Structure 1
Amino acid sequence: MADWGSGYIVDTAYVHDFCRVQVPAMLSFAALAKGVAAPGGRGEALSYCDLGCGQGLTATIVAAANPNTKVFAADFNPTHIAGARSLADAAGLDNIVFREADFAELVDDASVPEFDIIALHGVYSWIGADHRKAIVALIRRRLKPGGLVYVSYDAMPGWAGMAPLRRLMVQLQGAQPQVSSKRALDQALALADRLKEAGAHFYRMYPQAAVQLERLRKLPASYLAHELLTRDWQAFTFADLAQELTAAKLTYLGSAHLTDHVDRVNFTDAQQALLADLADPLINETTRDMIIGRQFRRDIFAKGFAPMTPMAARDRWLASRFVLTSPRDDIELAFDAPLGRFQLRSELYQPVIDAFAAAPLTLREVVERLPETTLGWASLTDAIKVLVGQGHLAPALPLEDEAVRQRSTQAFNAAVTARAKETTELRYLASPVTGGGIRVDPLTQLYMQARRKGIADPAALLASLAAFGGGSFEKDGRKLSADEVRAQIATKIAAIDDSVVPLLGRLGIV
C-alpha cells in the first residue's frame, strides 16, 4: 500500500462521476431560490475551482459546456489527474488547468487565481483536520467577495449508527497495511456480516446500520472503498461544519438540492411549526437534519451577499430559462421524500412539464402559456424547485452564445463517444443548453457516433462491436444468436430514437 495518501485510499481510482448540482448555473439558481443574486446563471465569464476533483469529469464537463469559464481542478492523486488531462486534451479544451497537489500546497501558491465559485464534492468528510484547515485558508485567500462555495459531506445524525461499524472497518484495514483496498473492503464487509450473524448487540441498538450497509453494498466497489475505508472520515453536524467555515468568512446560503427548499415536501405541519419557532439559523438547520435523519448534505455558502428585493427576485425568476432534462413521458409525478411517497398534483405540474417539453423557455414564457388559474406564484416557483431537485428540469443558460458553447460541447462529446468502444465509465455528455452534463449510456453513445458517421445499419455495427468486445446477450438463461442480438439492439435503437434523441436535441447535444 502507498503511504502518501494521508489515510486516503490511493491504490484504487475513484469512479468517473458527474455532480450536476455543482454546475455554475445550478448553484446560481439555488442562490436565486433563496433570494440572492449569485454568479453562474447568465453565461457570464467566471473563474471556477474544483478542489479534490477526483477523475475530473465534472470539471471537464463544466469547462466544455462553459467555454468562457476558466476552470482550475486539483487532486492529489496523479492517476486521477493524468486521466483527466487526457480527456480534456482529446476534447481540445484550453480553458481548464489540472493540478496535481494537496490542499496545503495550493494555499501559498501565487499562481492559483481568485475564484467566483469553489466546489468540494465528496471531499470534506474524507480528510483530516489539517487538510480541512488548508481548505478553509485557501477559500479565505482565493474566493472573491460575493463568491460561492459548494461543499458536500456525510452528515449527522444519519451516520450516527453506522459510524462505529465504519471505524471498526478502518481499524481492520490499518492492522494489515500491505493488503489492497479491494481485499480490505471484502474483509471489512465480511466482518460486518459475521458480527450480525453472531447476534452482536450493536445491530439491535442501531438497526438502521444494517439497512444502510445493504444500500452501500449496491454501489461500485471503487466508490465503496473510498467511502468506508478512508482513515480520517468524519460525519459532521451542520453547525460544526458551518463553524469551521466561518474562518473563511462564509455564510450559509442554502441547500444545492432544490427539493430541500420546499418545506411541505419534507416536513409535517407540526414539524414546520417547530422549525418556525427556531430563529437561530444554525439551530434551525441542525434541527431539520434531526427531523429527517439526514445522511448527506449539499450546502452552498457565500462570501458576503445582499438579498434581492422581492420585485428584483421575481424579475430574475421570470428571466430565468429552464429546459426539461427527462423525456416527458418518463416523468413520474411521485417520488420518495422524508415523509414517504410524495404525490404531486397532476393538474398543477403537468401543464408546467408540457410547456417545457418542446423547447427551453424562460419562466415568463411559461407563465404566458399556462392557464391563469393553474398556479399562483409561490406554487409555480415551488414546482420549478421540485422538478429541478428531482432531475427532470435544469436551469438553462441564455440563448446568446449557445452556438459557441455547442462547438465546445461537440468536441468534448466526440472525445467521450470515441471511447465508448473501450470503456463504459464515461456515461455523461455535455450540454451547451444547461452548461452541465446529461447521463447517456454507452450503447446510446455508440449509436450517436454511428449516426454522425452516416452508418447505414447501426444495429449490425453495434452488434458486431458487442461481439468483438466480448459482450454477450442472454434471454431466459439462453445465449442469443447473432441475429437475435441484432434484433434486440434494433429494438433498443428504436426506443432511443423515440425518446432519447428528442431529449438530446432539446439539450443541444444532437
Structure 2
Amino acid sequence: MPSVDFHGYDASAGYTYGFCPEIAPDWLDLAATMAGSAPARASDDAPFRYLELGCGQGMGLCLLAAANPQGQFVGVDFLPEHVDHGRAVAQAAGLTNIQFSDGDFVALAQQWPAAFGQFDYVTLHGVYSWITPPVRAALVRCLGHATAPGGLVYIGYNAQPGWLGSVPFRHISRLLKEESNQPSEAVMQASIALFDQLAAGGANSFRILPGLKSRLAAVKRQANNYLIHEYLHEGWHPLWHSEVAKEVADGGLAFVGTASLAETLLPGALPPPLRATIAEQASSVLRMDVQDLVINQSFRRDVFRPATSSASVASDAVLDAMMLHLLKPVDGDSLTIATSFSEITLQMPAYAEIVAALGSGARSMGDLLALPAMRQQGRPNALQIIALLLHARIAGIGRSAPAPIQAVQGLNQFIANGSTRGRRYDHLAAAALGSAVAVTPDDLRLLDAWLAAEGRTDAISLTTACGADGAPAAGDTAITPESAAVFLDQTLERWRKLGVVA
C-alpha cells in the first residue's frame, strides 16, 4: 500500500469527539439572516446537502445527520482512523443519510468526485489554519467545486492577533518534535515541562508576552490528542480575517458575516473612541482586522457564500419565522455572558420575558420580539439580547417541525453506552433543534442506565444501576440518589422538549 502524504500534518493521534453548534444548518441560516443575507434554504424542512471538510472523528456530522433526516451529509477527512470511527458510529446508530470518505484536499482539488456534486452547506472547523499554504490553496479550490449557488460556507480558524503570545510555545514544540524524533505525546509533555522551567526561571518572554503564561496554563488543562492537533503541524498558522477573505475570494466566495453571534454586537459594544477608530478605516476588511486587533481576536467563525449570490437579501419575515428553544434554566437576578471581547452582564428584566416564554415551549423569533419588554427595547436591542442568549447556550435555534424522535434514538443510545465504556462523547442529538445539546459524563451514565431499564426506574434503582453506590468505574464523581432524582425530574423533562429522548 502506498504511504499517505499528510502534507506536514501530524496524524499520530486521533482528534476529539467534540461538536460545534455553529456548524448546524439552522444556526448558519440564522447567522446569514442576521447579517442581512438570505438563508441557504427556503424553509427549515426543505431537503439539503451538507459537506464537512476535515470532519475529524465524524461525531459532529453524525449528530447533525440524526437530527436532520431530511439532509444528506458527507464527511471528508484524510486520517483513516477518523473515517473508520465516523462510519462505525453511523452504522451502529442506523444512520442512512450520511457517508464518510477518506480524502486528500490536494487530490480532491485536482479531481472533484462527480458523486460528491455540490452542497448547500460546506463547513470546516479548525483545519484551515492547521495546513500548509499549498494545501489551503487546494482546499479553497475544493470550496469552489463544492458550494452550490446560494450555499453557505463556514470556516472556523485560529485568528490573529490572539495567538501572538502562543508563537514561542508552538515554535519550540514543533522544533522539539523535529529534533528529538520522540512520539508527539512525549513531545508535548516535554515542551510543557520546558516552558514551566522557563517561567520559573524568570524568562523575559513571559514578561513581554503575558499571553504566553495564560496559554501555558490552558495547555495544561487540555487533552494530549487535542494539543497534538493544535500545535505540532508544519502548517500551523493563525490568520487575519483579511488573509482568509482574500484567499477564499480566489474560490469565488464573498464574506457574509460571523457565526459567533455575540460578535454581531460589534463594533457597537466597544467604547466610543474605539468604535470611531474602526469606522474611520477605508475598507471592510481593514475595519474587521482593526476590530480584531481591538478585541485580541483568537478564533473566528466566518460565513461566506458564492459571490454571485452574495447580494441575496433576507427579509425581517424570514428572521421572525425562525424558532428558538430553551436549552437550560436561568437562575439569579442577572446573567454574565463571556464573549470574545468582554463579559456582558444582563439584568433580569432584559431577558426574563424571553426565558419565561421559552420555558413553556418553542417560540418564533417574531413572537419573542413582540413581547412587551422586547418592544420597549426596540428591535435592534432585542435581537442583540437574543444573540447573547444563543451565544451563551441558554437558547437554541431550532426547527418549526422537529424531526421524528426515532431519528435520534439510535445515535443517542450509542453515545450513552459508548460513554460508559470510556469514549469521551459530550453531546446528544436533539430532534427539535436540528442540532445537539451538551451533556456531562454523569448525564450519559444516567441516560445509559435509564435506557437499559426502558425508562421504568426510580432514583434509588438508577443510582444502583450506575455502579456500587453510584461510583463510576473510572470517573470523577459518584451518582447519588439526589443527582439521579434531578436527572429523572428535570433533565429528562428538558430533553423531551428538545427531542433528545422520547
TM-score, structure 1 as length reference: 0.90
Distance 1:471 1:243 in 2: 47
**Of the candidates 85, 88, 94, which is equivalent to residue 86 of structure 1?**
88
Distance 1:472 1:153 in 2: 32
Is residue 2:498 matched to residue 1:494? no
> Contact 2:350 / 2:373 at 8 angstroms: preserved in 1?
no
Distance 1:82 1:330 in 2: 45
Q: CA deviation at 1:366?
A: 2.7
Distance 1:115 1:407 in 2: 26
> Contact 2:169 / 2:191 at 8 angstroms: preserved in 1?
no
Residue 234 of structure 1 corresponds to which residue in structure 2? 237
Residue 416 of structure 2 corresponds to which residue in structure 1? 417
Q: CA deviation at 1:470?
A: 4.9
Q: AA paired with 1:34? A: A
Residue 32 of structure 1 corresponds to which residue in structure 2? 33
Q: Aligned-residue CA RMSD in angstroms? A: 2.3
> Contact 1:326 / 1:393 at 8 angstroms: preserved in 2?
yes
Matches within 5 A, 1:33-182: 33-39=34-40, 42-107=44-109, 108=111, 109-177=113-181, 179-182=182-185
> Contact 1:327 / 1:503 at 8 angstroms: preserved in 2?
no
Distance 1:330 1:493 in 2: 24
Q: 1:455 to 1:443 in 2, by over 3 A?
A: farther
> Contact 2:26 / 2:398 at 8 angstroms: preserved in 1?
yes
> Contact 1:266 / 1:338 at 8 angstroms: preserved in 2?
no
Q: AA paired with 2:367? A: E
Structure 1 unpaired stretches of 5+ = 474-484
> Contact 1:348 / 1:374 at 8 angstroms: preserved in 2?
no
Matches within 5 A, 1:364-375: 364-371=366-373, 374-375=376-377
Residue 11 of structure 2 corresponds to which residue in structure 1? 10
Q: 1:303 to 1:332 in 2, by over 3 A?
A: farther
Sequence identity percentage:
26
Q: AA paired with 2:480? A: I
SS at match of 2:397: strand
Distance 2:472 2:340 in 1: 46
Distance 2:311 2:332 in 1: 37
Residue 444 of structure 1 corresponds to which residue in structure 2? 443
Q: 1:330 to 1:139 in 2, by over 3 A?
A: farther
Distance 1:325 1:502 in 2: 11
Matches within 5 A, 1:269-418: 269-304=272-307, 305-307=309-311, 313-329=315-331, 333-337=335-339, 340-371=342-373, 374-399=376-401, 402-404=402-404, 406-418=405-417
Deviations along 1:280-335, whole A, 9 cap, x unmatched?
Answer: 110010011110011111111111335566xx622112211111112233896112
Q: CA deviation at 1:446?
A: 3.3
Distance 2:25 2:476 in 1: 41
Deviations along 1:388-447, whole A, 9 cap, x unmatched?
Answer: 122211211122xx253x221122212222323212411211011111111122332232
Aligned positions, number: 490
Distance 1:376 1:199 in 2: 53
Residue 508 of structure 1 corresponds to which residue in structure 2? 499
Is residue 2:21 matched to residue 1:20? yes
Q: CA deviation at 1:466?
A: 5.9
Q: 1:141 to 1:367 in 2, by over 3 A?
A: closer
SS at match of 1:248: coil
Structure 2 unpaired stretches of 5+ = none
> Contact 2:408 / 2:429 at 8 angstroms: preserved in 1?
yes
Matches within 5 A, 1:420-431: 420-431=419-430
> Contact 1:432 / 1:507 at 8 angstroms: preserved in 2?
yes
> Contact 2:403 / 2:432 at 8 angstroms: preserved in 1?
no
Is residue 2:185 matched to residue 1:194? no
Deviations along 1:112-135, whole A, 9 cap, x unmatched?
Answer: 221111101010111111211111
